[in-house]
Amino acid sequence: MTGLMRAETLEIPEAAARLDGSRAAITDIATRMRMLSPPALVSVARGSSDHAANSWKYAVEIGTGLPVASMGPSVASIYDTKLNVSGLAALAFSQSGASEDIVALSAALRDGGALTVAVTNTPSSPLAMACDHTIDLAAGPERAVAATKSYVNTLLAGLRLLAEWREDAALHAALDAAPDHLGQALVADEQITNALTVAPWAVMLGRGPGLGIARELALKAAECCTMPAIALSAAESLHGPVAAIGPDTAVIAVGHGAGMDSSLDTLSSYGIKPLRVATAPLHPMLDPLMALPTLYLSIEQAARARGHNPDAPTRLKKETVTR
């Protein structure tokens, strides 16, 4: 059966290539960021978009040495706080651009003196109107409740902005190659599908830019497979959480590198064997997301095997509007 989530996952490489149409806007924003030279940055997001923002935070902090703070939307939408953010740059991530709290905080940041950028799949949205600049994700219509191609394009757009801002030729080259690499991951992983089909709950592990992706996968497992799922830093998993991880837990790790591998070695010594998707190395900031098509397809198959419809999870709808 080819449902919406599966079909839209299979569109990820094409959607990623379409993002090239937003290069001019990204280049203009990057030029303005170099002129501004912000001492710190702010992200604004909820849900899947906030998971993408978390990956972007790590990429920016690693690539620039500048701190990135995630601001709570209720600061503006509920508490009506006047912000003092002159000289900062703020990115608001929202696929729909419709959530009232994200719009409210973005407007407050702009009014408080920040350079504001909407990263959205809906360039005519209220969020785009509330910000100084807009990056169109160009992912195309997405009808499944679970975001797939729009999430991947959010990650890629944030990284392209970083590459333009810092004039990073290596990251540019990796981003140019990303659609082809994503196209090599359009197959489910049988081990991961089987683990998620039978497990009572799941733990997703990541570090650095991979942590936000682990959070996104935990959300997808929860909403599509109707199972409890949490995301942890691989390092954090060795503290309290390791006591709760049993042999029947589905443990999936995102990414490689010293920080991940040493933590996973320790987990293995306890008899916990995390599953990982093998992908060809591309760039440290991009490698974790190259496994996303495989992981999405694995979750979609597991959801159906568990008797659920991943295209229309219980009690959920495509746009969640909060304030």
- Quick one: 129 and 199 in the same domain? no
316 within a domain of the structure (yes/no)? no
13 within a domain of the structure (yes/no)? yes
182 within a domain of the structure (yes/no)? no
Rounded Cα–Cα distance for residues 28 and 49 (Å): 23
Residues 6+ apart with CB under 8 A from 68: 40, 41, 42, 43, 56, 57, 60, 61
- Quick one: 160 and 17 in the same domain? yes
- Rounded to an integer, the average pLDDT of 126-150 is 96
User: Which of 144, 177, 210 is at the close of a domain?
Assistant: 177
Q: Kindly state the tokens that stand for 161.
A: 């902005």
Residue (of 49, 69, 92, 99) closest to 215 by Cα position: 49
User: Which of 149, 177, 205 is at the close of a domain?
Assistant: 177
- Quick one: 123 and 27 in the same domain? yes
- Quick one: 124 and 227 in the same domain? no
Domain carrying residue 33: 4-177
HSE-CB for 208 with a 13 A CA cutoff:
18
- Quick one: 111 and 148 in the same domain? yes
Residue bearing the bigger pLDDT, 259 or 225: 225
Tokens 């030279």 appear where? 37
Residue (of 21, 45, 29, 34) closest to 134 by Cα position: 29
320 within a domain of the structure (yes/no)? no
Rounded Cα–Cα distance for residues 158 and 164 (Å): 10
Say yes or no to pLDDT of 224 above 80: yes
> CA 285, 290, 294 angle in degrees (round to 5)?
150
Number of domains in the chain: 2
Residues 6+ apart with CB under 8 A from 244: none
Residue (of 207, 282, 293, 317) closest to 8 by Cα position: 293
- Packing angle between helix 47-64 and helix 209-225, nearest 10 degrees? 170
Say yes or no to pLDDT of 22 above 80: yes
- pLDDT tier, 117 (very low <50, low <70, confident <90, very high otherwise): very high
Say yes or no to pLDDT of 317 above 70: no
314 within a domain of the structure (yes/no)? no
pLDDT value, residue 257? 80
DSSP state of 241: G
- Quick one: 235 and 168 in the same domain? no
Q: Kindly state the tokens that stand for 302.
A: 């597991």
- Rounded to an integer, the average pLDDT of 160-179 is 98
Q: What is the pTM of this model?
A: 0.95
Say yes or no to pLDDT of 14 above 80: yes
318 within a domain of the structure (yes/no)? no
- pLDDT tier, 239 (very low <50, low <70, confident <90, very high otherwise): confident
- Quick one: 199 and 294 in the same domain? yes
- Quick one: 112 and 226 in the same domain? no
At 196, give phi and psi (nearest 5°): -75, -20
Rounded Cα–Cα distance for residues 321 and 303 (Å): 25
- pLDDT tier, 1 (very low <50, low <70, confident <90, very high otherwise): low
- Quick one: 153 and 12 in the same domain? yes
- Quick one: 167 and 65 in the same domain? yes
Residues 6+ apart with CB under 8 A from 230: 201, 202, 203, 204, 218, 241
45 within a domain of the structure (yes/no)? yes
Widest Cα–Cα separation across the chain:
54
Report the 10 Å Cβ neighbour count for 248. Answer: 10
pLDDT digits (tens, 9 = 90+) for 198-207: 999 999 999 9
DSSP state of 294: H
CATH number at residue 49: 3.40.50.10490
Tokens 């920080």 appear where? 259
Q: How far is CA 56 from CA 156, 189, 276, 320, in A?
A: 9, 26, 22, 22
User: Which of 177, 212, 231 is at the close of a domain?
Assistant: 177
- Quick one: 209 and 240 in the same domain? yes
Task: Tell me the residue ranges of DSSP E strands in the chain.
Answer: 41-44, 68-70, 89-93, 115-120, 133-136, 202-206, 229-233, 250-253, 275-276
pLDDT value, residue 259? 81
219 within a domain of the structure (yes/no)? yes
- Quick one: 146 and 253 in the same domain? no
Say yes or no to pLDDT of 192 above 60: yes
